[in-house]
């Protein structure tokens, strides 16, 4: 049995971690912190955990005893983990960060999109936590930067095409939609009020300004062996959770959909949480799971491929992917506690 600490556990990401960890057969949540709910039962913040997780929130990371914990999840805002990680690693041998602080190999890229990095040596050591691309490196990592939700869906959709050299990488377009939980529990901006978001679809952070853009480009560039740039446009849709990424690319040679599906199935062979569909996926197919479903079509008239991927932004796009990383880091079965299908209907 491994002992787990979750720092910043009362937000959506932390809550989803607690939900999945509460029924993980090989993990026990020993510490969960929250400044808002300090001293109160976890079930006060997440009533669904009543009777399932007998634990109260500790007040903060500096006021808890982490000795004996095998891994710590950091579920705080961008900019916090990079200042706190070194201290955590004095007490806990493995660290998984759900913010953007350890997702970038080049801290100058992080600085352009966020702020100056406070721990460049740890950033250089950290592994990007997408198991389908970095499984072996994750197994031996001390620090894993858990990917963003849009990036997970987008990278998994495009990786086989880019790695195979079958597409012109100057033509990559990602059009993605997210449920409102992607903004986090503390998001109180007017755009996220029910009356504003309901029955409306809104594009935001357009024209290369969304912070998940450089993550997508970093991973696709590594696969291509050359610099890749993408046009990424996110949208907010009136649903609670889910990511649907519709990705476009021009083929460098004529290929049909059947052949490309075979390519995708070969690429993701042995990766249990990516399923290549004959049809097209919907967010409803994967909600509440760690699955990514991928489907595609080819417009042979213009030699262009459209790839659609669906993930749960709180699942494979965040918390369950972090647990998948934990399983790999601690030598557990990669699928332990995660073989749960999407909720339907």
The residues assigned a catalytic role are: 149
Could you give the CA distance from residue 1 to residue 183 in angstroms, rounded to a whole number?
33
State whether residue 188 is helix, strand or coil: coil
State whether residue 299 is helix, strand or coil: strand
Could you give the CA distance from residue 153 to residue 151 in angstroms, rounded to a whole number?
5
* Cis amide leading into 58 (omega within 30): no
Distance of CA 266 to CAs 137, 271, 289, Å?
A: 21, 10, 23
Backbone φ/ψ region at 312: left (φ over 0), alpha (ψ -120 to 50), beta: beta
CA atoms 215, 219, 220, 222: torsion sign: positive
Distance of CA 165 to CAs 30, 158, 213, 264, 274, Å?
A: 46, 11, 21, 13, 21
Q: What is the 3-state secondary structure (H, E, C) of 17-28?
A: HHHHHCCCCCEE
Q: What is the CA 71 to chain-centroid distance, rounded?
A: 18
Backbone φ/ψ region at 90: left (φ over 0), alpha (ψ -120 to 50), beta: alpha
């Amino acid at each position: 049995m491994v002992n787990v600490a979750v720092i910043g556990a009362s937000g959506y990401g932390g809550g989803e971690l607690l939900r999945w960890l509460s029924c993980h057969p090989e993990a026990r949540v020993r510490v969960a912190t929250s400044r808002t709910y300090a001293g109160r039962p976890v079930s006060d913040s997440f009533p669904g955990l009543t009777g399932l997780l007998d634990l109260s929130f500790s007040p903060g990371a500096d006021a808890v005893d982490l000795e004996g914990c095998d891994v710590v999840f950091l579920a705080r805002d961008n900019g916090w983990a990079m200042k706190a990680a070194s201290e955590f690693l004095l007490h806990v041998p493995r660290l998984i960060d759900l913010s953007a602080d350890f997702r970038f190999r080049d801290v100058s890229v992080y600085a352009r999109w966020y702020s100056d990095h406070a721990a460049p040596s740890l950033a250089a050591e950290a592994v990007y936590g997408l198991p389908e691309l970095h499984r072996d490196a994750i197994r031996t990592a001390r620090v894993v930067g858990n990917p963003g939700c849009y990036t997970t869906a987008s990278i998994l959709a495009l990786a086989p095409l880019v790695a195979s050299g079958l597409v012109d990488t100057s033509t990559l377009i990602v059009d993605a939609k997210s449920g409102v939980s992607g903004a986090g529990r503390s998001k109180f901006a007017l755009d996220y009020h029910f009356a504003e978001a309901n029955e409306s679809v809104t594009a935001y952070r357009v024209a290369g300004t969304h912070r998940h853009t450089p993550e997508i480009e970093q991973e696709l560039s590594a696969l291509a062996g050359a610099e890749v740039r993408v046009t990424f446009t996110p949208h907010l849709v009136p649903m609670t959770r889910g990511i649907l990424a519709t990705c476009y690319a021009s083929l460098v040679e004529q290929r049909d959909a059947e052949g490309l599906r075979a390519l995708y199935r070969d690429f993701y062979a042995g990766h249990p949480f990516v399923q290549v569909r004959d049809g097209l996926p919907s967010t409803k197919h994967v909600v509440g799971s760690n699955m990514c479903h991928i489907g595609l079509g080819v417009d042979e008239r213009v030699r262009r491929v459209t790839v659609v991927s669906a993930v749960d932004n709180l699942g494979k796009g965040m918390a369950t992917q972090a647990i998948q990383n934990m399983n790999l880091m601690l030598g557990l079965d990669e699928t332990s506690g995660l073989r749960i299908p999407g909720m339907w209907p």
